[in-house]
Amino acid sequence: MAQQAVQKNTLYVGGLAEEVNESILHAAFIPFGDIKDVKTPLDQATQKHRSFGFVTFLEREDASSAMDNMDGAELYGRVLTVNYALPEKIKGGEQGWAAQPIWADADTWFERQQQEEEMQRMQAENRAAMQAAEDLHRKKKTEEREGEKEEEIEMKDDPMARAEAEVLKQND
Residue 92 lies in a domain: no
Backbone phi and psi for residue 128, each to the nearest 5 degrees, phi listed first: -65, -40
Range of the structural domain that residue 26 is part of: 10-84
The reply to whether 71 and 132 lie within a common domain is: no
- The pTM of this model reads 0.49
Confidence of residue 83 (pLDDT cuts 50, 70, 90): very high
Domain count, the chain: 2
* Residue 43 vs residue 78, higher pLDDT: 78
What's the pLDDT at 105? 63
Residue 133 lies in a domain: yes
Residue 1 lies in a domain: no
Please, is 85 exposed, middle or buried when counting C-beta atoms within 10 Å of its C-beta (0-12, 13-18, 19+)? buried
